[in-house]
């Protein structure tokens, strides 16, 4: 009996035989997350239904020295939930109960498998909603949102997941259940909660999350503006923010992204547009009305040849339909694509978009641009056909060049998708060895044995106990060809 077989037997005894998968065909269901470019079949899959069962699985992994990876809905786009070939994949999707909705405290307490949009549906009858809204909000889970510090279109005004989580119950890598934060807005001492949110599963597994609820706004108004170019749309974006207006969202799509959305959902965006802006304002009715007139005028002033105002919720949903479907929609115009995620200063949008177009042309691939224009969070979609020899490699080159452009312009390699495995090699472009060593010291404080989601975030495994600083000689995990040095 192998060590994995022995572990599987112990897990069946701990959580039930039906909750442990070892059949290879069943395991293949979990070989990737939303970034299907990377695939690894896990040694086994555990399907706990309670927090106690999650803790039991982690304790068994710790006792056996077997790595584990936590997975929610599997919608991540950085390979953050990519399984470990010799480890356990802990799927939290069956922990899907909304435990409490407390409108008087403006809080909800949920399990990690609860779908993002379900929180809003539970809170709406009380006059509240959950503000972070990834495009995948109909299927992504709160646990995954916490792991990746997910964003969304309306995070320009309301902030990311970390701004809306006040407490978590966490199973640490040794199997102990601890609470960080709670119902209160803040707690004294070190910000361990802030450390955990966005840690990509490297510090433990969330089994309960307390989130803030936001009061439904009195008024919401949505505008769609068509421009001849992304330069004009970018200039309008900067002008809106410079005027002191902070919309709930400002989203931009270029001509290729519009083409894909029209093919997929017939959203009816302005014909011939080189770019569209979706601008949404919310808040007190008088304030929204005043700001909306100003936003409309600024769009026209910067070249908008057509503007549309949603008359009701149905028209508002139609405007958003094209944007929310953009990632999947490009499948209508390309058999394969890479979704990228980087951040640049808002003022650099015109220059960076031009450079992306030039790099794409140099390598013979197309790039559709969809992004949160208000905060400079780019989501270029690099289109290619994997059946054509060399195209996948050229697409990877363009994808990497886009991240280099983000760094070059003072931005970041990720805004909301996380680092995962996809961008780990770019971490040294942003951070020094000393920075990465400091991060590793923190990671080791939570996970001294390095079993929680290993191989993610850091470009080269750093062993707990290694002396920080510049290394000499061959890394111990590089010797047996376990890790590549970048």
CA 150 to chain centre: 4
pLDDT range class, residue 113, cuts 50, 70, 90: very high
Q: Could you tell me if residue 75 is inside a domain?
A: yes
The pair of structure tokens assigned to 269 is 């965006």
Q: How many residues can be counted in the chain?
A: 486
**Domain of 293: which CATH number?**
3.30.70.2190
List the domain range (segments joined by +) for residue 228: 219-333
pLDDT for residue 461 is more than 90: no
Question: Has residue 270 got a pLDDT over 50?
Answer: yes
pLDDT digits (tens, 9 = 90+) for 322-352: 998 888 889 899 999 998 999 999 889 989 9
pLDDT of residue 325: 87
Residue range 21-37, pLDDT digits in tens: 999 999 999 999 998 88
Residue 194 inside a domain? The answer is: no
What pTM does this model have?
A: 0.92
- Give the residue from 299, 333, 367 where a domain finishes: 333
Token pair for 157:
């005004």
Strand 177-181 and strand 249-254: pairing?
unpaired
CATH code where residue 9 lies: 3.30.43.10
Indicate whether 141 belongs to any domain: no
Domain boundary among 66, 91, 116: 91
- Residue 478 pLDDT more than 60? no
Please identify which residue in the block is written with the tokens 């170019």.
229
Mean pLDDT for the chain?
92
Where does residue 239 rank: exposed (0-12), middle (13-18), buried (19+ CB within 10 A)? middle
Give the C-alpha separation, 77 to 148, whole Å.
10
**324 in any annotated domain:** yes
Give the number of other CB atoms < 10 A from CB of residue 286. 10
Token duo for residue 176: 């102990």
Among 91, 114, 143, give the residue marking a domain's end. 91
Greatest CA separation found in the chain? 73
Q: 48 is written with which tokens? A: 């706990």
Name the domain count of the chain: 3
Residue at 372 is within a domain: no
Residue-wise pLDDT for 177-193, tens only, equals: 999 999 998 889 999 99
Per-residue pLDDT at 187? 86
| Residues sharing a CB contact under 8 Å with residue 349, sequence separation 6 or more, in sequence order | 230, 234, 237, 238, 373, 376
CA angle, 291 as apex, 285 and 296 as ends, to 5°?
A: 120
- The answer to whether residue 135 sits within a structural domain is no
Q: Identify the band that residue 1 occupies on the pLDDT scale cut at 50, 70 and 90.
A: low
Residue 296 falls inside a structural domain: yes
Q: Is residue 258 in some structural domain?
A: yes
């Amino acid at each position: 009996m192998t060590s994995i077989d022995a572990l599987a037997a112990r897990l069946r005894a701990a959580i039930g035989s039906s909750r442990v998968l070892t059949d290879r065909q069943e395991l293949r269901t979990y070989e990737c997350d939303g970034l299907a470019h990377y695939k690894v079949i896990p040694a086994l899959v555990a399907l706990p239904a309670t927090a106690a069962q999650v803790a039991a699985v982690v304790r068994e992994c710790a006792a056996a020295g077997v790595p584990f990876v936590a997975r929610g809905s599997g919608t991540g786009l950085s390979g953050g939930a990519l399984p470990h070939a010799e480890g356990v994949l802990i799927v939290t999707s069956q922990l899907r109960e909304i435990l409490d909705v407390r409108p008087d405290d403006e809080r909800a307490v949920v399990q990690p498998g609860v779908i993002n949009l379900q929180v809003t549906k539970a809170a709406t009858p009380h006059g509240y909603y959950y503000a972070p809204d990834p495009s995948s909000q109909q299927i992504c889970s709160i646990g995954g949102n916490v792991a990746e510090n997910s964003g969304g279109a309306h995070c320009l005004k309301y902030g990311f997941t970390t701004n809306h989580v006040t407490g978590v119950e966490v199973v640490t890598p040794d199997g102990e259940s601890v609470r960080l934060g709670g119902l209160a807005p803040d707690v004294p001492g070190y910000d361990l909660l802030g450390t955990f949110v966005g840690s990509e599963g490297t510090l433990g597994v969330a089994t309960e999350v307390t989130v803030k609820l936001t009061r439904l706004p009195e008024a919401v108004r949505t505008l769609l503006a068509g421009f001849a170019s992304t330069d004009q749309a970018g200039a309008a974006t900067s002008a809106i923010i410079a005027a002191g207006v902070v919309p709930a969202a400002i989203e931009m799509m270029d001509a290729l992204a519009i083409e894909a959305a029209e093919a997929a959902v017939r959203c009816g965006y302005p014909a011939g547009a080189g770019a569209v802006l979706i601008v949404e304002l919310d808040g007190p009715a008088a304030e929204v009305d005043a700001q909306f007139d100003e936003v409309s005028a600024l769009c026209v002033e910067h070249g908008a040849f057509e503007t549309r105002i949603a008359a009701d919720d149905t028209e508002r949903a139609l405007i958003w339909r094209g944007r929310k479907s953009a990632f999947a929609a490009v499948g209508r115009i390309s058999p394969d694509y890479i979704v990228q995620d980087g951040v640049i200063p808002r003022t650099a949008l015109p220059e960076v978009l031009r450079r992306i177009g030039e790099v794409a042309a140099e390598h013979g691939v197309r790039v559709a641009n969809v992004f949160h224009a208000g905060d400079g969070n780019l989501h270029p979609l690099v289109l290619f056909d994997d059946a054509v020899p060399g195209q996948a490699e050229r697409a990877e080159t363009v994808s990497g060049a886009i991240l280099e452009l983000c760094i070059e312009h003072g931005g970041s390699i990720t805004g909301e998708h996380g680092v995962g495995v996809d961008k780990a090699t770019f971490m040294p472009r942003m951070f020094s060895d000393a920075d990465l060593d400091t991060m590793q010291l923190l990671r080791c404080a939570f996970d001294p044995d390095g079993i929680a989601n290993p191989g993610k975030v850091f470009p080269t495994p750093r062993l707990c106990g290694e002396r920080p600083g510049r290394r000499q000689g061959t890394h111990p995990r590089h010797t047996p060809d376990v890790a590549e040095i970048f």
